[in-house]
Chain A
């Protein structure tokens, strides 16, 4: 997006803040996941699921298509935990792998946007 009007500049700033906030979202999920790997807590389960779920919808609205599938996968993994199920070790492993894929997707998305700019 190349801004040429004040409105476009504001929108570009919102998109930039979304991109800059992605690492924080990844960190939030990683910390929650590490907590769940040690011991189940409702707080960690909720934080993990809500962060993934929120990113899924928000990424799509920001046309960050690369992020939608990995965020959807993470939300799908986290939903049973949010509903009270204690995660199994292999589920934590799967979530860590999906989180890694999301991180790679963030890099691809960022590179695409910077390439377009």
Chain B
């Protein structure tokens, strides 16, 4: 990956989207596109072809696991790492592994360390 990652952030909370977007743009100069739900997010990933998709798990209509499954099932997006940004309590480790996600960043995240954490996760191969 290049230094200036392209990111698609999919989260239904507008305040959190703005915080994450600005944080990544300011602390790491990354290019961040955002989407408010799973369907919009999948379209954004197909269009942007980001270095990483950061996805909330609990969203209306389509949860993050399903978003990840659909991205991994599509040959055009299957190689794009998916990282969940989620509360620890809602985390289902088995589902994370089964859908092919690269890893998890637990809310609350530390804004100054988010880019570093995503870089670390995307630099690692998923566990087999």
**Chain B positions within 8 Å of A58 at CB level:** 13, 15-16, 19, 107
| A-B pair number, CB within 8 angstroms | 52
**Chain B positions within 8 Å of A53 at CB level:** 58, 87, 90
Contact mask B25-58 → A, CB, 8 Å, 1/0? 0100000000000000000000000000000001
Given A7-B26, A61-B107, A61-B109, A54 and B18 touching (CB < 8 A)?
A: no
| Number of residues on chain A facing chain B (CB within 8 A) | 18
What is the CA–CA distance of A62 and B108 in the complex, to the nearest angstrom?
A: 8
Q: Which of B12, B19, B23, B108 contacts A54 (CB 8 A)?
A: B12
**Main secondary structure on A side of the interface with B:** helix
| Number of residues on chain B facing chain A (CB within 8 A) | 19
Q: Which of B14, B22, B108, B111 contacts A10 (CB 8 A)?
A: B22
- CB under 8 Å from chain A, chain B span 62-114: 86-87, 90, 107-109, 111
Task: Return the chain A residue nearest B86 by Cβ.
Answer: A57
Q: A-contacting residues of B (Cβ < 8 Å)?
A: 12-16, 18-19, 22-23, 26, 58, 60, 86-87, 90, 107-109, 111
Q: B-contacting residues of A (Cβ < 8 Å)?
A: 7, 10-11, 14, 17-18, 21, 46, 50, 53-54, 56-58, 60-63
Q: What are 25 A-B contacts with C-beta separation under 8 Å?
A: A7-B26, A11-B22, A14-B15, A14-B18, A17-B18, A18-B15, A18-B19, A21-B14, A46-B60, A50-B60, A53-B90, A54-B16, A54-B58, A57-B16, A57-B86, A57-B107, A57-B108, A58-B13, A58-B16, A58-B107, A60-B107, A61-B16, A61-B107, A61-B109, A61-B111
